[in-house]
Chains A and B, each alone.
Chain A
Amino acid sequence: MKNLVAFPLLALAVILQSSVISQVKLLSGYADLPMLMIASWALQERVKSAWHWAALGCALIGFVSHMPWFILLVGYCAVVFIAQTFQKRVWQAPLLAMFSVTFIGTLVVHLFTFAALRVLGTPFAFADVIGLITLPSLLLNMLFSIPIYTFMRDLARWVYPPEEYE
């Protein structure tokens, strides 16, 4: 039941993303709060609901954004996949795993978004996207990743307490 905290939490993240984070720009890029939350959630050892969180995040962002839902779905599922892969291999250094997932996840999400929007007819220049959106967003995501990881780790301990797990 505690997993239902995903609904208010991701809704709050999307609201913050739309009203606050999107105003904190570096060049034309900004951080992706829901993606960071999903990535850090998927990195937690006991968490088994990361895919649900990704789907819910996509649904909530798709409700607000003009971005087609399948782009978000594929991007966020890719982030969960990367996070779970790292969680199994770099489990002794969670912050390193979080940095790695943030780095690769941001690149994957942005590259997929760029490719999909290009196919759908939006004229983007690759150099502009990399220089003005992806790299600044990457930097901001890295900055935000540590506090979000800490918060999500505490939340995972609350949702999946050790005694319940064992």
Chain B
Amino acid sequence: MNSRTLQTTIIFLVVGGILALALGGFFGGASRQVSSVWIETQTWISSRYVGFQDFVAAPRDITSLRARNAELEAEVSRLQTQVIELQQRVNQTDILAALVDFSRSNPESAYKAAAVIGRDPSPFLHYIIINRGSNDDIQRGMPVVTNQGLVGRVDAVIADAARVQLITDPASSVNVYLQNAKTDAVLLGSVTGDVSLDMISQNAAVQGGDLILTSGLGGGYPANLIVGQVVTLRNLQFELFQQATVQPAVDFTRLEIVLVITNFRPVDITPLVP
């Protein structure tokens, strides 16, 4: 070993020893001051480096975050659409289940379900348009019901659609039977969509809440379809008949799916009318 190498080795050993003693805490306050300066310097440099790194990397992160945000927003709107569709299906399923229950409890009739796809363009008339027509064996005059009660009857038919006159139409009249009073009457529509009873015998004891069913007279509708309930009675002694206002069983503002009774053939009594 030459003298230069020996000198270097000694210097390394001395410096290493001093460092070891300093890190071991043997230099006391001087050691703490050195280490605190070191740490502060490192902290300053480190914080500046992190700031610089953020500055350089931030645009890329914002771009990727925006892209991710857009993806998530699209996903949210897709899921919201799906939720709405599923809610609609649940509603339709509920309606169809109720209609199936109704058809099972009335097995004497054959039914064909149809969706309501429109209403008459004129506010003077109360008609709906359904998506079943002559291709589905729908014929003019067939009664239309829901699980709640009578809706109306088919007025006109084309291949894939039919127009239905509601019982609320001003030109509609249905022969009905008041179950409790055991008397016949005529149910009339009106321009406002309200329905009323007329031609109730003065001798009949009609009360609010009495159930109204179709009587089947005249052959326009089958008997015993629920129409509604009597709300109030108007009884004037000088009139020939009593009148009553009626709460229809069907909510005509929310008609979505209806049942057409396909095995009923209306009787045309026009030739018998004097």
- Asked whether B191 lies within 8 Å of A67 as measured between CB atoms, the reply is no
Question: Contacts A18-B129, A122-B171, A128-B192 hold; do A137 and B123 have CB atoms under 8 A apart?
Answer: yes
Which residues on A sit within 8 Å (CB–CB) of B163? 64, 66
The reply to whether the CB of A22 lies closer than 8 angstroms to some CB of chain B is yes
Q: How large is the interface on A (under 10, 10 to 19, 20 to 34, 35 or more residues)?
A: 20 to 34
User: Which interface residue of A18, A66, A67, A124 has the most chain B CB atoms within 10 A?
Assistant: A66
**A34 to chain B: closest residue by CB:** B121
Q: Is the CB of A124 within 8 A of B191?
A: yes
Tell whether, in the assembled complex, residue B127 and residue A23 are in contact, meaning their CB atoms are under 8 Å apart. Answer: no
Minimum C-beta distance from B119 to chain A (A): 4
List chain A residues, Cβ under 8 A from B192.
28, 128, 132
A128 CA to B117 CA in the complex, in Å? 28
- Counting contact residues on chain B (CB < 8 A from A), the size range is 20 to 34
In the complex the two chains form, is A133's CB within 8 Å of B118's CB? no
Which candidate, A40-48, A82-90, A113-121, A155-163, is the interface stretch facing chain B? A113-121
Is B94 an interface residue when CB atoms closer than 8 A count as contact? no
- B193 cross-chain contacts in A, Cβ below 8 A: 28
B121 touches A18 (CB 8 A): yes
Q: Do B120 and A67 touch across chains, with their CB atoms under 8 A apart?
A: yes
Residues of B within 8 Å of A14, CB to CB, are: 121
Classify the secondary structure of B's interface with A. loop
- Closest Cβ of chain B to A12, distance in Å, is 13
Query: Is B122 positioned at the interface, with any CB of A under 8 Å from its CB?
Result: yes
Does A30 lie at the interface of the complex (its beta carbon under 8 Å from any beta carbon of B)?
A: yes
Q: Which residues of A contact B122 (CB under 8 A)?
A: 61, 65-67, 113
Known: A18-B129, A121-B171, A124-B170. A65 touches B191 (CB 8 A): no
**From B191, which residue of chain A is reached at the shortest CB distance?**
A128
B120, B121, B129 — most chain A CB neighbours (10 Å): B121
Q: Complex Cα distance A21/B125, Å? A: 14
8 A Cβ contacts from B108-164 to A: 117-125, 127, 129, 155-156, 163
Tell yes or no: A19 within 8 A of B by CB: yes
Q: Does B229 contact A (CB under 8 A)?
A: no
Nearest neighbor of A110 in chain B, beta-carbon distance: B124
Contact partner, A66, options B117, B118, B125, B190, Cβ 8 Å: B125
- Binary per-residue interface labels of chain A (56-98) against chain B in the complex, 1 for a CB within 8 Å, 0 otherwise: 0000010011110000000000000000000000000000000
Query: Are A22 and B119 interface neighbours, CB within 8 A?
Result: yes
Say whether B121 contacts A113, CB under 8 Å.
no
Q: How far is the CB of B118 from chain A (nearest CB, A)?
A: 4
- Flag if B121 contacts A132 (CB, 8 Å): no
Q: Report how far A97 CA is from B50 CA in the complex, Å.
A: 70
B243 sits at the interface (CB 8 A): no
Q: Is B215 an interface residue (CB 8 A)?
A: no
A132→B118 contact, CB < 8 A: no
Q: How far is the CA of A19 from the CA of B131 in the complex (A)?
A: 12
Verify A18–B118 contact, CB threshold 8 A.
yes
Q: Is the C-beta of B165 less than 8 angstroms from some C-beta in chain A?
A: yes
Distance in angstroms between the alpha carbons of A30 and B129 in the assembled complex: 17
Tell me, rounded to whole Å, the shortest Cβ–Cβ distance linking A100 to chain B. Answer: 22
Using CB atoms, name the residue of chain B closest to A125.
Answer: B191
Which residue of chain B has the shortest Cβ distance to A71 in the bound complex? B122
Decide if A6 is an interface residue (CB 8 Å cutoff): no
A129 within 8 A of B: yes
In the complex formed, the residue of B with least CB distance to A67 is B122
A22/B120 in contact, CB under 8 A: yes
- Enumerate 13 A-B pairs (CB-CB under 8 Å) in ascending A order: A15-B118, A18-B129, A22-B120, A25-B123, A32-B121, A64-B120, A66-B122, A66-B125, A67-B122, A67-B125, A123-B170, A132-B192, A133-B124
**10 closest residue pairs by CB, A with B:** A18-B118, A22-B119, A17-B121, A122-B171, A19-B118, A67-B122, A133-B123, A65-B121, A128-B191, A29-B123
